Chain A
Amino acid sequence: MDKSIFIEKLKDVIQTEKDINFNTELESIEEWDSIAQISLLAFLDSEFNKHLTVNDFEKIKTVNDIAKIAGL
């Protein structure tokens, strides 16, 4: 997946209007809550066939961390 498409899709998943890039800290996104995290699980599953565990959530800090899991 193209990186700019990935960013747009991720914004949809998190349901945020905020301008985000690969360096954006997830904690700085107001909508990054349990709903966004569940949506992220579904997104990674359906688009990349990747599964995150609860422990993985403690390790992901930035958009780039998510991209790495997706294999981008």
Chain B
Amino acid sequence: MVKCAFENIRISGISCCVPEKEYCLLNEQNLYNGDKKRINRVINSSGFLKRRVSEKDVMTSDLCFQAAKNLFCNTQVKKEDIEAIIFISYTPDYLLPATSYILHKKLNLSKDCIALDVPQACSGFIIGLYQGAMLLTSGCNKVLICVGDSFSKFTDMFKDNTAQIFGDAGTAILLEKYNNNSKTFFNIETYSQDYDALICENSGFKHPPQKDDFYSDNSFIYDSKMDGKRIFNFTLEKVAPNILGLLNFSNIKKENIDKFVFHQANKFILENIAKKINIDSSLISTQTLRDYGNQCGASIPCTISNTLKNYVENQGGKFLLSGFGAGLSVASCIIDIGNIYCSELVNYRR
């Protein structure tokens, strides 16, 4: 996509929800065949320590639902004014119907509202903002963006060595028209030649379930594969130029960006991106990946919630957000966020 800019839109509320159950790598003796030295190497270089995992019957949509309810309780927005709901996730309730309809029903939204599912992963939040910005430009006044993922649904969190880096989360973000002469800039890029670097091959119709796709307890084995080296190379080569391209396009100097919030891929990747765009690595928080895991599309709003709640509830400032991952894709955005409601990372309750 070409780089683009939107006028007079703003994020007017951020609400995030995580499962209550917490796991810590230090307590997982079976990981890497009990090789403690290896576990410590993983913690030190990747930055992951703890993560949240949802109960089997709690869906991404449940986490998003609680986040959205919380948003309506704490802001002035009326449900009947929501003219679009977008659910961004690769862990929907069903393939049919779209999960945005489930959320629309549970939230009791108006019939004068479009429900859209956008299956995206770690760049999902920015792609959702872009989609929302387009809807605002074409007539909607308020858009509810629900972005979340539950990687735990996709893999056995205790049998698969890649699973220990992912954490579940669901969020709700309100986007609305706002006449403040602000400009929001996007740079979204697609590198589909590496579509199979992060893939779950039996998650759709192309490879229907076979007999050996089940564990002995009859639970289904989603065949998720991640080519860590290929993805790492991709982040090294593509993310920094995307961010620098966005700064250049927006004519905003990086010194004038108040907060950089990046997808919580892992500490090592974020430090390398900081180096490449020539900013101090202390400007990029990795606290959320350490305490909650890689929350995929939800990681950017959750990082704002987790580390910048007071900042955005008060004056706020100019944010540069960047998400990157499955697709593969890189999506970055410059947006003003401030004087809005922002929740903490609230624990999910039934």
Contact = CB atoms under 8 A, between A and B. Distances in A.
Nearest to A15: B41
Interface of A is mostly: helix
A4 interface: no
Nearest to A45: B236
A33 interface: yes
B41 A38 contact: no
A33 B272 contact: no
A36 to B, nearest CB: 8
Interface string A10-49: 0000010000000000000001011101110110011000
A41 B272 CA distance: 11
B233 interface: yes
A53 B231 CA distance: 11
Interface stretch (B95-103, B205-213, B222-230): B222-230
B74 interface: no
Given A46-B272, A51-B237, A54-B227, A41 B232 contact: yes
Contact of B230 (A35, A42, A46, A54): A54
A35 B41 contact: yes
A39 B45 contact: yes
Interface residues of A, number: 17
A46 B274 CA distance: 12
Contacts of A39: 45, 268
Contacts of A51: 233, 236-237
Most chain B beta-carbon neighbours within 10 Å: one of A37, A45, A53: A45
Most chain A beta-carbon neighbours within 10 Å: one of B42, B229, B232: B229
B168 to A, nearest CB: 24
Given A51-B233, A51-B237, A38 B275 contact: no
B236 A42 contact: yes
A37 B233 contact: no
Contacts of A31: 41
Contacts of B275: 46
Contact of B229 (A15, A45, A54): A54
A42 B270 CA distance: 12
B232 A38 contact: yes
A35 B42 contact: yes
Contacts of B41: 15, 31, 33, 35
A58 B45 CA distance: 23
A71 B230 CA distance: 22
A57 B236 contact: no
A37 B229 CA distance: 8
Interface in B210-258: 227-230, 232-233, 236-237
Given A33-B38, A35-B42, A35-B45, A42 B268 contact: yes
Given A31-B41, A46-B275, A38 B228 contact: yes
Contacts of B268: 38-39, 42
26 contacts: A15-B41, A15-B45, A31-B41, A33-B38, A33-B41, A34-B229, A35-B41, A35-B42, A35-B45, A37-B229, A38-B232, A41-B233, A42-B268, A42-B272, A45-B236, A45-B237, A45-B272, A46-B272, A46-B275, A51-B233, A51-B236, A51-B237, A52-B229, A53-B233, A54-B230, A57-B229
Given A38-B268, A51-B237, 13 more contacts: A15-B41, A31-B41, A33-B38, A35-B42, A37-B229, A38-B229, A41-B232, A41-B233, A42-B232, A52-B233, A54-B227, A54-B230, A57-B229
Interface of B: 38, 41-42, 45-46, 227-230, 232-233, 236-237, 268, 272, 275-276
Interface of A: 15, 31, 33-35, 37-39, 41-42, 45-46, 51-54, 57
Which 5 A/B pairs are nearest by Cβ-Cβ distance? A45-B236, A35-B45, A54-B229, A35-B41, A38-B232
